Amino acid sequence: MKDRCLLSKKSYRSWTEIQKEHKDFLTSLGPLTPDEMIEYLKIEYGTTPPFKKSEILDFLHSDAEILATGSECSSNRQV
pLDDT band for position 32 (50/70/90)?
confident
Report pTM.
0.72
Q: Which of 27-31, 48-52, 53-57 has the lowest mean pLDDT?
A: 27-31
| Integer Cα distance of 71 and 60 in angstroms | 21
Mean pLDDT of 17-22: 87
Higher per-residue confidence, 72 vs 10 = 10
What's the pLDDT score for residue 26?
Answer: 77
Please give the mean pLDDT across all residues of the chain: 81
| Integer Cα distance of 29 and 9 in angstroms | 11
Which of 57, 54, 65, 46 has the alpha carbon at shortest distance from 6? Answer: 65
